[in-house]
Copies of this chain bind each other. A is one copy, B any other.
């Protein structure tokens, strides 16, 4: 059994790549969190102050170390793991973290719901978490919120759910350049296809979100699809990444589909491209009742991911040991200070 919640909750960041660096200032704002350590393998970061690595205007008096073995069990309560999107990449780290007996909140997309796609790894992670009494959650805006826990919560008012459709239309024009590069701005269709064929292109996690919904609603799926295609420029245009010719990519669109029998019961449309006129996140629930939920303008993914991770910390601290999902835990609301902490504690074994 984990110790009762300490105050402040001592946090170690594992991974100071783009997500980890964005996350740090969120942690500093919460009076009940204390950043006590940071790990990154990048030799340009090791030994430097986290505030400097994250280009903050303050030193944090926390030096980046090159491995978890530099830290000891007593140092911390929870680790924020932001190293990779892929499950296989986090397993060894999770095993180290379990031995340190720190709870884990991660942004690893494939870890958000690995039970269907990679059940052996899911069982292995779950077992080591239970053995050492820690709770592990992976979350973020998506997977974690927009296409799984948010629609699951919405269906609580349904007598019947026949089908779910979610559209996430993002205007990438306002996003940072690495994001624009990531979505393929300026690629020819051949280059786009080649990159797609590499398997490491596009948004990771549509499948995990579909499977989380299905597991929670009690739907047995026959199969899922996740297909990526370029969004093409209709005419030449100048972008922050240079001139893009008509017919070249201005971003990507991914379509996720889940089938129960021959029925397409989940449809995800994930589009991130330049010059999208009406960005929005829209959830359609078809059933009794049928209804639509719209967030005009859409949710800024980077802010939302860092916020969900930060807000999840007290919830994960109070969760039962094991590999948890956003569908198993109490709602991860914004948390100025953990209020009725006892309520969280009770859900612990």
Contacts and interface: CB of A to CB of B under 8 A. Distances in A.
Interface of A: 26, 29, 115, 141, 145, 149-150, 152-161, 214-219, 287-289, 291-297, 299-300, 303-304, 306-308, 310-312, 319-320, 322, 325, 327-340, 343-344, 346-349
Contacts of A26: 159
Given A161-B334, A328-B344, A331-B331, 4 more contacts: A29-B160, A161-B336, A217-B334, A294-B296
B311 A158 contact: yes
B156 A333 contact: yes
A214 B347 CA distance: 20
Contacts of A335: 216-218
B347 A159 contact: no
Nearest to A141: B157
Q: Which 5 interchain pairs have the tightest Cβ spacing?
A: A218-B336, A155-B334, A218-B337, A157-B304, A152-B333
B327 A331 contact: yes
23 contacts: A150-B153, A150-B154, A153-B153, A155-B333, A156-B312, A156-B333, A156-B334, A157-B299, A159-B306, A160-B334, A161-B336, A216-B331, A216-B333, A217-B333, A217-B335, A218-B335, A218-B339, A219-B336, A291-B297, A292-B296, A327-B330, A331-B331, A347-B347
A332 B154 CA distance: 9
A156 B152 contact: no
A294 B299 CA distance: 14
A331 B324 CA distance: 13
Contact of A349 (B150, B343, B349): B349
A282 to B, nearest CB: 10
A165 B346 CA distance: 30
A295 B295 contact: no
A119 to B, nearest CB: 12
Contacts of A141: 157
Contacts of A297: 291
A150 B293 CA distance: 12
Nearest to A291: B295
A330 B216 CA distance: 10
A176 B307 CA distance: 43
A77 B253 CA distance: 47
A157 B339 contact: no
